[in-house]
Amino acid sequence: MNKASALRNWLLMGVAAAGLASCNSGNQAGANQPDLLQANLDTTVRPGDDFFTYANGGWLKKHPIPASESSWGIGKEVQNEVYARLRALNEEAAKANAAAGTSQQKIGDFWATGLDSAAIDKQGIAPLKPELDRIAAIKSVADVQSVVARHKVLGVNSLIGLYVGQDAKNSDKMALHLYQAGLGLPNRDYYFNKDSRTSNIRKEYVRHVGHMLQLTGQDSVTAQRHAAQIMQLETQLAGSSRKLEDLRDPYANYNKRAVADLSKLTPGLDWKPWLAQMELKTDTVIVGQPEFYQKAGQLLKSVPLDQWQAYLQWHLVNAFAGQLSRPIDDEHFRFYGTVLQGSKQQRARWKRVLDEEESGMGEILGQLFVKEYFTPETKARYAKITENVVASFREHIQALDWMSDSTKQKALVKLTKITPKVGYPDKWRDYSTLEIKRDSYLANVMRANEWQYRYNINKLGKPVDRTEWDMTPQTYNAYYNPSNNEIVLPAAIFAIPGLEDKNADDAIIYGYAGASTIGHELTHGFDDEGSQFDEKGNLRNWWSKKDRAAFQQRVNGIVRQFNGYTVLDSLHINGKATAGENIADLGGIVIAFDAFKKTEQYKKGEKIGGLTPTQRYFLGYALGWQNHQRNEVLAQRILTDVHSPAQYRVNGPFADVPEFYEAFQVKEGQKLWRPDSARVKIW
């Protein structure tokens, strides 16, 4: 889902979340507070010209992007409150002198080493020396592959990508997957696009790589020579990497092979010792992009060893720059923070330590978090609104005029089989084998990465655990997993800034939570990609040929619509790459609206803050995308993100919804108006 980022002053999570699910249809403003939605409006903008700015402009004007951030909005406010609560838990743990091996000891020691910047600066590059020595000792192609294998265990993005996950065509089986990787720039387009912005980024990237190599001990001449060679090597890898939109085709990215045949597919790569070193025991592997590995095999044979050493050294230091001394950390931020995303200064160190902790042992934090701030009763309330939106989706499928009865029945079976996971998991991960000490921040991050690697690969050959979550409860996000046919809705995603439970009316609940989260994720099971998986989570065509063609015709309509939006200079939205998210946005809006129409608030039709229930519903949805961002990060996301920018996640789908036109008197001649024949209707 990737909800747009934002900032707020949120009450205790359990209280705010309970309000969202309480279905209270009273005045959300409270006795002495202005109406939240009314306060956010920018009435200098007509809703029919730019509803996103009309709904959020007042708030955005009062909340400029902080210097340490590349964007700001509602998700960042929620996250800020989460940060504050997690910080308190960490500070308490660091002082507790807890018994070795306990969760409190691990959290406390990780936190203490992460905040000890003096010790980190004093250690300099020393914590990386064993790994740098390993690279310096390379004398053959086999040695290169050995170091790459070591990097996979440590979490370094060099040359290959792999993970253990469900087999798309047999969701009951865990399989080894290989995917394209090994680039230092965000994706392949950064190596080839000819616009001035991207061309400048390439120049800055070479400069940055050279600086980083100097900081690891190379002289300036050698470092700059190696930087140019690394750019040349990565450009060749990028040339055999697939484009963003092409990665969304599940059939094209499913190439199952016997391990014994991998060497034939990718000559130059010696897979047997490679897999053995990475502790991977399997007879088959699913190769996402075979042409990438064919190119990697060719380059291993043709590129001189000293260039591979430079490439591996660069990716190693790049992976751990945030845990090294200040000069390395600052240079890393200069490129990835300022050049790529436009941030003016580093985020607070304690927040960045929490990010690393979240990545390494997030469910330890999650257990403490929900114990303090999220009750089982609140979790039950969220489950109820999810049931209501599912019931509405069922009615929508039954009423479709473009889908045959036989395909409808299969769609209804799939909908019935979708598992909703709400708030937090019923079973937590066991981190007892994860070792955290007070010796070195980098060592702790490496140990956490190794633990995560082995946790993942140990799933190979074992039954699929369908109770597992891939997000922590404190994450402001949500997802649909096609292989499990499930929607996962972490606790934090439902929080609304500054809104008490007793004042949360149904209109906001169903717009903010029902449409942009629950309905959105449900619809992902039936978007252009998710619709290719059946009720058991297997990649299988369950559509009639005629129905699939009718569906694709509607998908093509939304692709054309979003292709037409120019966002920044000459950059426009990639309608094909963002199709799934755009379909889910539109589907979530129309499905949750019909669920909202069953509430007492909608039936009574009384105004709150001068706004009708329907107007509040659409404004509640727009609240979920209350976000603005710097041009640098906007340009990056256009090239790398399958989500449209926040403004178009509001204006785009609303331009297709008749009830929106009626609620805000959108007329021909206004910018959002589209003729009936051009409006997309899928679900």
Q: Shortest CA distance to 299 belongs to which of 159, 90, 485, 119?
A: 159
Q: Supply the DSSP string of 512-580, one letter for each residue.
A: IIIIIIIIHHHHHTTSTTGGGB-TTS-B---S-HHHHHHHHHHHHHHHHHHHT-EEETTEE--TTTTHH
pLDDT of residue 378: 72
pLDDT of residue 372: 75
User: Which residue stretches of 195-266 are H helix?
Assistant: 196-215, 220-239, 262-265
pLDDT score recorded for residue 1: 64
Using DSSP, how many helices (H) and how many strands (E) does the chain show? 28, 12
Q: Tell me the average confidence (pLDDT) per consecutive run of 10 residues in the chain, 683 residues long.
A: 37 27 39 82 98 98 96 94 92 94 96 98 95 98 97 96 97 97 97 96 98 97 98 98 97 96 89 94 96 96 97 98 97 98 96 96 90 76 91 98 98 98 94 96 98 97 95 96 97 84 83 96 97 97 97 98 93 96 98 97 96 98 97 95 97 98 98 97 97
pLDDT at residue 501 in the model: 55
Which phi and psi (to 5°) does residue 536 adopt? -90, 0
Superfamily of domain 5-84+353-429+468-678: Collagenase (Catalytic Domain) (3.40.390.10)
Listed by start position, the domains of the chain span 5-84+353-429+468-678, 126-323
**CATH architecture entry for 126-323:** Orthogonal Bundle (1.10)
Predicted confidence at residue 497, as pLDDT, reads: 81
pTM of the model: 0.92
Please tell me the distance from the alpha carbon of residue 265 to that of residue 347, in angstroms, as a whole number: 45
Phi, psi of 268 (to 5 degrees): 105, -15
Q: What is the pLDDT of residues 590-640, one digit of tens each?
A: 999 999 999 999 999 999 999 999 999 999 999 999 999 999 999 999 999
Q: Which residues contact 374 (CB under 8 A, 6 or more apart)?
A: 13, 14, 17, 423, 424, 473, 491
pLDDT value of residue 11 = 24
Task: Write the pLDDT tens digit of every residue in 147-184.
Answer: 999 999 999 999 999 999 999 999 999 999 999 999 99
CA dist list (Å): 96 to 107, 136, 443, 519, 548? 10, 42, 22, 43, 60
